[in-house]
């Protein structure tokens, strides 16, 4: 049952966005994703599972092939989807870097390890200015922000906060105005050609209703994508970060987990091994509707001032 909103907070920490949206106090706990990129192997199982479950069309389909169904690459990486979009609710980024030679502490994935020629022991630096190539892989998704500007600007109510604390686009209500697209600080929402509606990750709302995990988290073979109670995921992320720092991985950092950040914390947050920009993420996202109350106050004051000036001019003309 949805009641009237209790507050109108557009920024800052918000402990319970679900209750803020008007749900009763006994609503389900807020759920989310914690994506640990340090164990992502770039298999794209999450992308495939998402497309299959949500019946999304393929990306990067070229004109060649027997039926025009040959997937092309972007030319920049081993990637054919390129980024999040109306038909790609999950996207695995492949980032190729040349870094000072150093063998990081391996992560146990239950797979056989091989020692490459010239490799050094875990955690040891090579001498000199030697470099090596490393791959950073990360499965990106809608962040289901605590303060979701897309939801604030939607004129039809197509974008809603669900009982699970996620942000959902109702396809049958969306009129394709596109206001939500520039409002998203992460550039996640997109319109689909031939349809015009706005689309993004639903966190598999239909599966949540049946007590199931989202398809992407279910398919991830390394548990890089973790799903669950958001508070528990934050505790798990803090513990994982401490472990990596203890294993001489000081570059590990959390992104989007802080309730004091510009969007009040994300419902989908990440453990990264480099700056957010390297993964195509904004370094300091801010909810784009943050200043709306101030703008309305200034607009109201300006309107009252103009009305007063007109009234004085009218009274002066009558004397």
Residue 102 in contact with residue 247, Cβ under 8 Å?
no
Task: Report the binding-site residues.
Answer: 40, 43, 46, 50, 142, 145, 150, 154, 174, 177, 180, 184, 201, 204, 216, 220
Task: Report the binding-site residues for [4Fe-4S] cluster.
Answer: 40, 43, 46, 50, 142, 145, 150, 154, 174, 177, 180, 184, 201, 204, 216, 220
Residue 181 in contact with residue 86, Cβ under 8 Å?
no
Beta bridge partners, 136, equal 95
Distance CA 289, CA 48 (A): 33
């Amino acid at each position: 049952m949805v009641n009237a909103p209790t507050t109108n907070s557009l920024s800052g920490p918000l402990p319970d966005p679900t209750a803020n949206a008007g749900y009763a106090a006994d609503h389900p706990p807020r759920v989310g994703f914690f994506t640990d990129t340090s164990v992502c192997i770039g298999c794209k199982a999450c992308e495939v599972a998402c497309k299959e479950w949500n019946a999304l069309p393929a990306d990067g389909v070229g004109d060649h092939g027997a039926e025009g169904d040959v997937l092309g690459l972007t030319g920049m990486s081993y990637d054919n989807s390129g980024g999040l979009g109306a038909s790609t609710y999950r996207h695995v980024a492949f980032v190729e870097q040349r870094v000072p030679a150093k063998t990081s502490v391996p992560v146990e994935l239950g797979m056989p390890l091989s020692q490459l020629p010239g490799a050094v022991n875990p955690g040891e630096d090579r001498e000199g200015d030697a470099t090596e190539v490393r791959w950073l892989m990360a499965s990106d998704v809608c962040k289901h922000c605590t303060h979701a500007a897309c939801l604030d600007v939607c004129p039809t109510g197509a974008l809603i906060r669900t009982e699970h604390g996620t942000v959902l686009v109702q396809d049958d209500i969306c009129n394709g105005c596109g206001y939500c697209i520039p409002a998203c600080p992460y550039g996640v929402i997109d319109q689909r050609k031939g349809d015009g509606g706005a689309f993004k990750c639903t966190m598999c709302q239909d599966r949540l209703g049946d007590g199931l995990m989202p398809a992407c988290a279910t398919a991830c073979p390394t548990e890089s994508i973790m799903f669950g109670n958001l508070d528990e995921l934050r505790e798990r992320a803090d513990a994982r970060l401490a472990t990596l720092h203890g294993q001489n991985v000081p570059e590990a950092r959390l992104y989007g987990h802080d309730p004091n950040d510009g969007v009040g914390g994300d419902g989908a947050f990440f453990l990264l091994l480099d700056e957010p920009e390297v993964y195509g993420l904004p370094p300091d996202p801010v909810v784009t509707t943050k200043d709306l109350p101030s703008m309305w106050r200034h607009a109201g004051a300006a309107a009252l001032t103009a009305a007063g000036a007109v009234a004085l001019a009218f009274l002066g003309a009558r004397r």
